[in-house]
Amino acid sequence: MSHNAESTAFRSALEVIRAVEPRVADAIGAELTDQRESLKLIASENYASPATLLAMGNWFSDKYAEGTVGRRFYAGCQNVDTVEALAAEHARELFGAAHAYVQPHSGIDANLVAFWAVLADRVESPALKKAQVRQVNDLSEADWFALRRELGNQRMLGMSLDAGGHLTHGFRPNISGKMFDQRSYGTDPATGLIDYDRVAEAAREFKPLILVGGYSAYPRKVNFRILREIADSVGATFMVDMAHFAGLVAGKVFTGDFDPVPHAHIVTTTTHKSLRGPRGGMVLCQPELADQVDRGCPMVLGGPLPHVMAAKAVALAEARRPDFADYAQRIVDNAQALAEGLLRRGAKLVTGGTDNHLVLIDVSGYGLTGRQAEQALLDSGIVTNRNSVPQDPNGAWYTSGIRIGTPALTTRGLGTAEMDQTAELIHTVLTQTTAGANADGTPSKAKYTLDADLADKIARQATDLLAPYPLYPAIDLA
């Protein structure tokens, strides 16, 4: 696509929007400006291609398409069938999966589809068998009660939240924590690494129906072969949530024992993050779970979003190109360079480094909470997010950590030299930020002090660092 074509497409779209609600058009333009000028280090964010973005802004948005390819509850879905089938085909080929389901609207939705697919496949109860063979209205109240109790009383074992697990892996604030009797496995207190022997011990004791692998803030590879062996040893279904590192799997940076797809019964992911597609979710599974997974809508999902499935097809096609593997490797190279730059400057990192796309800084060494550090960095043009560290004394709201990632800056073209400069900017801000106090003189976990002139100086330096690597260089909205 030419320079003029991309600029024309987006400028024309904004003109159409502006004619109806100019404030929305202004906000869209301002978002592009903000993203162009900020060091985006949020590990779960990226920049989708213009083709992916444009695939979402069309009349596919106008279609209802409950059901699956060739089996819709609405007529006139032949074109939706085309894009959904293409997205699923690209996903199967990209990841070497037996089956792909591309309808989930988000990672949480993908996990819900997976949970219910496993429950429906695995739970052996008279009430469930009746539900599968009889009309819903024919079930007695006693049958319904037994079914709800059976499905809501299964066990899940997943990584603890402070060790790097995700809210959807059985934690009480999320629906997964209300569906399952959940227990967590953590990491070794000395190293921050997964202790597979302890995971096996917990599985033998707890006997979960589902063993969950995957993470949102664990900066190392995971051996999925070992986790599958543990799951098999206790008769559990092995599920992996690879939302964060799907791009590293797609790009063949994670292979063998570190590629979850050959080892897991079912794999969930988002399609943004390191995969660099639209915001959405996806489920990959073994053939025996395919029928249950394909019932995601209407089981737990609302109507599919055909315009987003079209964008998923485009992004997955892009990920099958040879240059995506180079991109995925550069993500890891940059993360390791960023970690090394921080370590040289005295930062404390969880696990002492990284094998993947993210780095977790324990900011207690700077005398700060995660919330204080996050805001001070944002004041300085560096966008991150606070995150718990193992055994975090500040809990999940204030935290003691900052999670940073390299997928977005790698998309812009920054390399290892720029990662070292980024480490210097981060370290400068954190060393120059001091914790504040409440009105009564007690230490505050939220208030902080950072010289405004220094923050402005760092923000300018961040903008200068990004200048040789323009974001969406072919798009000119002026």
Give the pairing type, strands 237-241 and 266-270.
parallel
Whether residue 52 is contained in a domain is answered as no
pTM for the model stands at 0.91
One domain for residues 328 and 440: yes
One domain for residues 136 and 162: yes
Given a cut of 80, is residue 134 above it in pLDDT? no
Which position has the token pair 């948005």? 61
One domain for residues 275 and 371: no
Catalytic residue, from 66, 181, 195, 420: name it.
Answer: 66
The DSSP code for 261 is T
pLDDT at 176: 73
Residue 127, domain CATH? 3.40.640.10
3-state secondary structure of 470: coil
Catalytic residue, from 52, 187, 270, 422: name it.
Answer: 270
Domain that holds residue 285: 59-319
72 among known catalytic residues: no
pLDDT at 373: 98
Catalytic residue, from 40, 220, 228, 273: name it.
Answer: 273
Given a cut of 90, is residue 331 above it in pLDDT? yes
One domain for residues 260 and 304: yes
Which position has the token pair 């590879």? 221
109 among known catalytic residues: no
One domain for residues 253 and 192: yes
Give the tens place of pLDDT for each residue, 393-447: 999 899 999 999 999 999 999 999 999 999 999 999 999 999 999 989 899 999 9
One domain for residues 160 and 309: yes
Any idea of the CA torsion for 353, 379, 396, 347, to the nearest 10 degrees? 30
Choose one of 319, 340, 362: the last residue of a domain: 319
One domain for residues 328 and 462: yes
One domain for residues 135 and 238: yes
Whether residue 471 is contained in a domain is answered as no
One domain for residues 374 and 392: yes
Choose one of 319, 337, 359: the last residue of a domain: 319
pLDDT at 123: 66
Catalytic residue, from 36, 72, 279, 403: name it.
Answer: 279
Backbone phi, psi, residue 237, to 5°: -80, 130
One domain for residues 257 and 368: no
pLDDT at 120: 81
64 among known catalytic residues: yes
Catalytic residue, from 64, 130, 183, 463: name it.
Answer: 64
One domain for residues 388 and 362: yes
Is there a contact between 157 and 184 (Cβ–Cβ < 8 Å)? yes
pLDDT at 127: 58
268 among known catalytic residues: no
Instruction: Please give the average per-residue pLDDT across 207-219, as a whole number.
Output: 94
Given a cut of 90, is residue 87 above it in pLDDT? yes
302 pLDDT tier (thresholds 50, 70, 90): confident
Whether residue 53 is contained in a domain is answered as no
Residue 343, domain CATH? 3.90.1150.10
**Distance in angstroms (rounded) separating the CA atoms of residues 83 and 442:** 58
**Distance in angstroms (rounded) separating the CA atoms of residues 406 and 383:** 12
Closest CA to 327 of 254, 272, 274: 274
Question: What's the structural domain count of the chain?
Answer: 2
**Distance in angstroms (rounded) separating the CA atoms of residues 179 and 171:** 10
Given a cut of 70, is residue 147 above it in pLDDT? no
Catalytic residue, from 84, 109, 241, 379: name it.
Answer: 241
Whether residue 369 is contained in a domain is answered as yes
Whether residue 51 is contained in a domain is answered as no
pLDDT at 315: 98
Choose one of 300, 319, 338: the last residue of a domain: 319
Given a cut of 50, is residue 209 above it in pLDDT? yes
One domain for residues 391 and 284: no
Instruction: Please give the average per-residue pLDDT across 43-56, as a whole number.
Output: 96
Is there a contact between 275 and 312 (Cβ–Cβ < 8 Å)? no
Whether residue 408 is contained in a domain is answered as yes
pLDDT at 124: 58
pLDDT at 144: 66
Given a cut of 50, is residue 53 above it in pLDDT? yes
Amino acid (1-letter code) at residue 228: R
* Helix ranges, 369-415 (H): 370-379, 395-398, 407-412
**Distance in angstroms (rounded) separating the CA atoms of residues 427 and 373:** 11
Is there a contact between 170 and 156 (Cβ–Cβ < 8 Å)? yes
Whether residue 46 is contained in a domain is answered as no
Whether residue 256 is contained in a domain is answered as yes
62 among known catalytic residues: no
pLDDT at 2: 45
362 among known catalytic residues: no
Give the range among 117-121, 221-225, 345-349 with minimum mean pLDDT: 117-121
